[in-house]
Amino acid sequence: MISENLLQCISGKGPLQADIALDPISNIQLRPNVIFDIVENKKVLHLGCTDHLPIIDYKIEKGTYLHRQLGYVTEKCMGIDINSHAAEHLKSHGIHNIIIKDITKPGITEIMEDKWDYLLMGEILEHINNPVDFLKSIIKEYGNYIRSIIITVPNAFGLIHLSHVTNLGRESVNSDHRYWFTPYTICKVAYEAGLEIDNMDMCLYENSASILHNHEKMLKEKPILLDTIVLTTHCKPS
């Protein structure tokens, strides 16, 4: 779902006004299924794997805790996070494949001891003060050990998000978010950080499936209204 027009615009070779249209789709997937299809039987680093501590137990109980699910479908999965409290809590659930490290810093031997197919960054960049510099620092330190980076972010144009504005006159947002991304702006951020865009999937966050009851036809015709962007990238050759 990457058009030549999009690639031209993000590289600065296209027109000043970027007008990006996404083709209709025949099937709407939930975010975890899109991720699982990409990383199946691969070696995966899962950045920000612990999630928010208050909702970890709920997700584990419901069988929707992403880091545990990744362990079932990948060849190898290692989580990386700076949240030591959440990581210690996860050990009580038998989840031990997590290291507490800052991936922007050098010398993480657990990463450098292997070659990884993917670094998965699920709903991370909207929490980061400077996402371009953040990505650049990861590429600088560990780009030689990671083949591709998967970035997932909430889509500002998602129908659920827009409905809060148009119907209720308010913005409903995680209070730790710094940014709303769109299909174009997340591609631009990735490109400026030194990444090539391989593919972009529009999908629904797992908590948003109920919207299909009334809006499935429109979402298939206009996938830009789906609430989650999954961007697959790799490092540009030097």
CA 168 to chain centre: 28
Residue 238's pLDDT is what? 61
pLDDT for 4 = 80
Instruction: Per residue of the chain (238 residues), give pLDDT as tens.
Output: 677 888 888 888 888 888 888 999 999 999 999 999 999 999 999 999 998 878 888 888 888 999 999 999 999 999 999 999 999 899 888 999 999 999 999 999 999 999 999 999 999 999 999 999 999 999 999 999 999 999 999 999 999 999 999 999 999 999 999 999 999 999 999 999 999 999 999 999 998 889 999 999 999 999 999 999 999 999 876 6
- pTM value is 0.94
Contacts of 116 (CB under 8 A, 6+ apart): 43, 44, 45, 145, 146, 147
CATH number for the domain harbouring residue 227? 3.40.50.150
First and final C-alpha spacing in the chain: 25
What confidence score (pLDDT) does residue 53 get?
79
Domain count, the chain: 1
C-beta of residue 153 within 8 angstroms of C-beta of residue 120: no
Please state, in angstroms and as integers, the Cα–Cα distance from residue 121 to each residue in 148, 168, 212, following that order: 11, 31, 26
Decide: residue 10, CB within 10 A, 0-12 exposed, 13-18 middle, 19+ buried: buried
Among candidate residues 125, 172, 117, the one with its CA nearest the CA of residue 148: 117
Return the percent helix, strand and coil in the chain, to nearest 5: 40, 20, 35
Q: Which residues of 147-185 are buried (b: 16+ CB within 10 A; e: fewer)?
A: ebbbbbbbbbbbbbbeeeeeeeeeeeeeeeeebbbbbbb
pLDDT score for 27: 96
φ and ψ of 202, to 5 deg = -100, 130
Domain limits for position 133: 4-13+21-235
